[in-house]
Amino acid sequence: MQLNFIDWIVIALYFLFNLAVALYLRKRATQSMSDFFVSGRNVSWWLAGTSMVATTFAADTPLVVTGLVARNGIAGNWIWWSFVFSGMLTVFFYAKLWRRAGVLTDVEFAEIRYSGKPATFLRTFRAIYLGIPMNLIIMGWVNLAIVKIMMAVLGVTKIEALIFVVVIMFITASISSLSGLWGVLWTDLFQFVLKMGMVILLAVYAVKATGGMGALVSKLQAIDNTRSSSSSILSFVPDLNSVWMPLITFFVYIAVNWWASWYPGAEPGGGGYVAQRIFCAKNEKHSLLATLWFNIAHYALRPWPWVIVALVAVVRYQNDPAFHADPESGYIRILISDLPAYFRGLMLAAFAAAYMSTIGTQLNWGASYLVNDVYRRFTPGKEEKHYVKFSQLVTMLLMIASAVVTFYMDSIGGAWRFLMALGAGTGLVYILRWFWWRINAWSEISAMIAAFITSVVLQLGFNFDEGNPEQFAYLLLITVSITTVVWLAVTYLTEPEPEDKLLAFYRRVRPNPAMWGPIAKLATDIKPQKDGLFNIMNWVSGVIMIYATLFGVGKIVLGETLIGIALVIVGLVFGAIIYVGLNKRGWETLSE
């Protein structure tokens, strides 16, 4: 795809605008560590929530969705649609608790909940683990994706694409180091509008080039008649007799995986950059609304432009061996063939926006761990300006390190699964540590060790293949079972945290007292918040609202208007239940 002078002007203006935002916010963002990493805890819900959505829209996300649809139809997206359960749990149970904790990073939680050397070790280990190896692999993965996109779109060599990406990454790191989270938030907003506008535009032109939505659906139905599978490409529900999603695997996704496993961006009980956006919200009400908006936009509204382009690619390249070998490339091929020439500059800017929103967050988030939870933790007493400058230095160093990782990504790609093994099965302890007084630092440490050892032994010793859907299901079930037994045993075999530590945490966070019996009795100055049933009702309503809206919008887009409208109405009804409930009694439980 050739670019003309106007295209390059559009791309240049995009980068200049982002830099201008960073320079404008520089003074505001560099007054203190709180300003740099959590925007002074003064962000409105719509900005914090949109930033979460923008961060999860990486440059490779449309390509991944295209691959899922090409291989397994629309229902292939259940691999990530199942996380709705976890997302809504964060909204109604954990957003307010995280905001009350008043921490700068989620790993700082360890030393407000636990005490002594185990707490110090836990905080330091998780900060280094998340801030360096995990963070660099995520950034390397995203860098590699944008390199491949640039190679396909611009027709350049890998080295030329890498140079282009390094320039973008340097600009992104400069924005992040100049203006901290404030710059990330406001550029995320602009980038989200740009990239969503362009992917919607591409979907419109792709459908038009196929003859309209009716023609697209008819061609897909014709392809269904030639397939051996009993499930349609257009089906929203997977065939539970299929190889890729047998019943046991689907059960694990919707009933176990979302609460049992730790994974970046969808941590059980909240965490990572989602927690960072919660910390930056003005108050508990804004933190709840931010996570609610994020989940609605992320699951119910955003996927369909990607899915539609993926369906067009399935029709267009059904007989192309290259597409079947690399279905993710279908998105780029449709972009090159169907998007009018005068939108090329804007589309490349949109890809840059998708890349920058993710990388900008990863840089700021990773630096927050290394500075707040390691450097500042062991070098206290220095001026705020010193820590801010060190944060800027760490941000740039992470950028350089991620560029190096990208060069070797092909050789360490398997490390992603290896590192993820550390979190398999640990989710339950992250969920319960807020609500059960008996959990201690050794509970978390033993859960991480047990999950890692169990997962690695099953994969390397017993040849469980995580890439095989059925074996993945049994791998997860076994790992969760063993990990749960281990951390529960360790919890009861070790001493609870000191009473004064537990009292301080209970007074600070004010969790539901049901499983804080002996501590809640001592904290007579704290009014018990018996909101468990209310939160469960909202959680169930939220899950139904998301799925009804997701499938309703999909049905409308695909031409089944009446069914789609009915489902959207169901979503609106359950949304109204949440709204009425929060107005009647929910907001009174939150701090303004």
pLDDT reported for residue 390: 93
Query: Is residue 265 predicted with pLDDT exceeding 80?
Result: no
H helix intervals, 155-283: 158-210, 213-226, 247-252, 258-260, 272-280
Q: Based on the structure, what is the number of domains in the chain?
A: 1
Give the span between the Cα atoms of 390 and 386, in whole angstroms.
Answer: 6
For 245: left if phi > 0, alpha if psi spans -120 to 50, otherwise beta; the answer is beta
Residue 166 counted as domain residue: yes
pLDDT reported for residue 409: 64
Residue 323 · residue 313 · CB < 8 Å: yes
Q: Which of 412, 420, 481 is nearest to 452 (CA)?
A: 420
What separation, in Å, do the N-terminal and C-terminal C-alpha atoms of the chain show?
A: 52
Residue 505 · residue 113 · CB < 8 Å: yes
Residue 389 counted as domain residue: yes
Query: Is residue 420 predicted with pLDDT exceeding 70?
Result: no
Name the DSSP letter for residue 59.
T
* Higher per-residue pLDDT: 414 or 382: 382
Residue 575 counted as domain residue: no
Neighbours of 423 (CB within 10 A): 22
Neighbours of 210 (CB within 10 A): 21
Residue 31 counted as domain residue: yes
Residue 182 counted as domain residue: yes
Could you report the per-residue pLDDT of 46-85, keeping only the tens digit for each? 999 999 999 988 888 898 899 999 989 999 999 899 999 9
pLDDT band at 1 (very low <50, low <70, confident <90, very high): low
Q: Which amino acid is at 499?
A: E
The CATH number for 185's domain is 1.20.1730.10
379 φ, ψ to 5°? -135, 65
pLDDT reported for residue 92: 94
Q: What is the residue-averaged pLDDT of the chain?
A: 89
pLDDT band at 586 (very low <50, low <70, confident <90, very high): low
Residue 449 counted as domain residue: no
Give the span between the Cα atoms of 330 and 317, in whole angstroms.
Answer: 8
281 φ, ψ to 5°? -65, 155
pLDDT band at 411 (very low <50, low <70, confident <90, very high): very low
Residue 456 counted as domain residue: no
Name the DSSP letter for residue 130.
I
**C-alpha gyration radius of the chain:** 24
pTM here is 0.92
Measured between alpha carbons, how far is residue 123 from residues 3, 297, 398 in Å? Answer: 49, 32, 20
Name the DSSP letter for residue 380.
T
Residue 194's domain comprises: 5-241+281-413
Query: Is residue 205 predicted with pLDDT exceeding 90?
Result: yes
